[in-house]
Amino acid sequence: EKQFYNQAAEEKRLNKKVEVKHSNLKRLIQLSRPELPIILAAMVALVFSSLTSLAMPYFFGSIVQVVATTHSFNNLNSSTLGLVIIFVVGSVATLVRSWLFYLAGQKFVARIRRNLFSSIIQQEIGYFDQCRTGELLSRLSSDSQVIQNSVTVNISMLFRYSIQIIGSIILLFITNWRLTLLMLGIVPVLAISTVFYGKKIKQLGKQFQDELAKSSTTGEEVISNIRTVRSFSKEQKFIDLYSKDINGSFLIGKSLAVATGVFSGIVFLVAQLAIVLIVYVGARQVLDGTLSTGDLTSFLLYTLSLAMSLAFISSLMTDFLKAIGSSDRIFEIFDRVPAINVSGGKQIPNPLGEIELKDIEFSYPTRPNNNVLKGLNLKLKKGTITALVGPSGGGKSTVIAMIERFYDPNSGSITFDGVDIKELDPVWYRGIIGYVSQEPVLFAGSIKDNITFGNDSASMDEIISAAEKANAHSFIEEFENGYDTIVGERGVRLSGGQKQRIAIARAMIQNPMILLLDEATSALDAESEYLVKQAIDEIMKDRTVVVIAHRLSTVINANTVVVINQGKIEEMGTHKELLNNPDGTYHNLVKRQLSSDE
Ligand code: ADP
List, for residues 482-534, the tens digit of each pLDDT value: 999 988 766 678 888 888 889 999 998 988 999 998 887 666 677 777 888 88
Instruction: Give dist(CA 224, CA 39) in Å, integer.
Output: 42
**CA 359 – CA 348 distance, rounded (Å):** 24
pLDDT given for residue 593 in this prediction? 65
Is the distance from the beta carbon of residue 398 to the nearest atom of ligand 1 less than 6 Å?
Answer: yes
Mean pLDDT for the chain overall = 84
pLDDT of residue 21: 53
Q: Is the pLDDT of residue 35 over 50?
A: yes
Q: What does the pLDDT read at residue 537?
A: 82
Q: Ligand 1 centre and the CA of 394: distance in Å?
A: 8
pLDDT digits (tens, 9 = 90+) for 74-92: 778 888 888 899 999 999 9
Q: What is the pLDDT of residue 1?
A: 29
From the number of C-beta atoms within 10 Å of its C-beta (0-12, 13-18, 19+), residue 565 rates as: middle
User: Which whole number is the average pLDDT over 63-77?
Assistant: 81
* 440 CB-near residues (< 8 Å, 6+ apart): 499, 500, 502, 503
CA atoms within 13 A on the CB side of 144: 23
Whether 410 shows a pLDDT value over 50: the answer reads yes
Give, using CA atoms, the residue closest to atom 23 of ligand 1: 129
Report whether 153 contacts 107 (CB < 8 A): no
Q: Quick one: average pLDDT of 12-38? A: 69
pTM of the predicted model as reported, rounded to 2 decimal places: 0.76
The torsion angles phi and psi of 98, rounded to 5 degrees, stand at -65, -45
Ligand 1 pocket test, candidate residues 128, 369, 370, 372, most atoms within 8 A of CB: 372
Distance 397 CA to ligand 1 centre (A): 7
**Does any ligand 1 atom lie closer than 6 A to the CB of residue 550?**
no
Mean pLDDT of all residues in 5-22: 45
Residue 394 in contact with ligand 1 by CB distance below 6 A: yes
**C-alpha span between 193 and 206 (Å, rounded):** 20
Instruction: Pick the range with the lowest mean pLDDT from 188-192, 378-382, 467-471, 554-558.
Output: 188-192
Q: Which atom of ligand 1 is nearest to the CA of 394?
A: 3
Element of type H or E holding 500? helix 496-510
Alpha carbon of residue 8 to chain centroid: 21
Write the pLDDT tens digit of every residue in 256-284.
888 888 877 877 787 788 788 888 988 99
Is the CB–ligand 1 distance for residue 399 below 6 Å? Answer: no
Q: How far apart are the first and last CA of the chain?
A: 48
364 lines ligand 1 (CB under 6 A): yes
Which pLDDT belongs to residue 20? 47
Say which range, 153-167, 393-407, 431-445, 517-531, has the weakest mean pLDDT.
517-531
For residue 401, which atom of ligand 1 is closest to its CA? 6
- In the predicted model, is pLDDT for residue 16 greater than 60? no
Rounded percentage of the chain residues whose pLDDT exceeds 70: 94
What confidence score (pLDDT) does residue 18 get?
A: 40
Please report the pLDDT score of residue 579 as a whole number: 85
* Cα→Cα distances 381→351, 356, 408, 572, 596, Å: 13, 9, 22, 14, 27
Instruction: List the single range of 17-21, 171-175, 215-219, 227-231 with lowest mean pLDDT.
Output: 17-21
For residue 413, report the distance from its CA to the centre of ligand 1, in Å.
19
CA distance 243 to 245: 5
Q: Which atom of ligand 1 is nearest to the CA of 567?
A: 10
Three-state SS annotation for 438-461: CCCCCCCEEHHHHHHCCCCCCCHH
**Torsion, Cα of 443, 447, 450, 453 (10° steps):** -150
* Confidence band, pLDDT 50/70/90 cuts, at residue 182: confident
> Does 189 or 304 have the greater pLDDT score?
304
Check residue 491 and give its pLDDT: 66
Longest dimension (CA), the chain: 120
pLDDT of residue 312: 80
Residue 6 is predicted with a pLDDT of 42
Tell me the C-alpha distance between 461 and 467, whole Å.
Answer: 10
- CA 564 to centroid of ligand 1, rounded, Å: 12
pLDDT of residue 595: 60
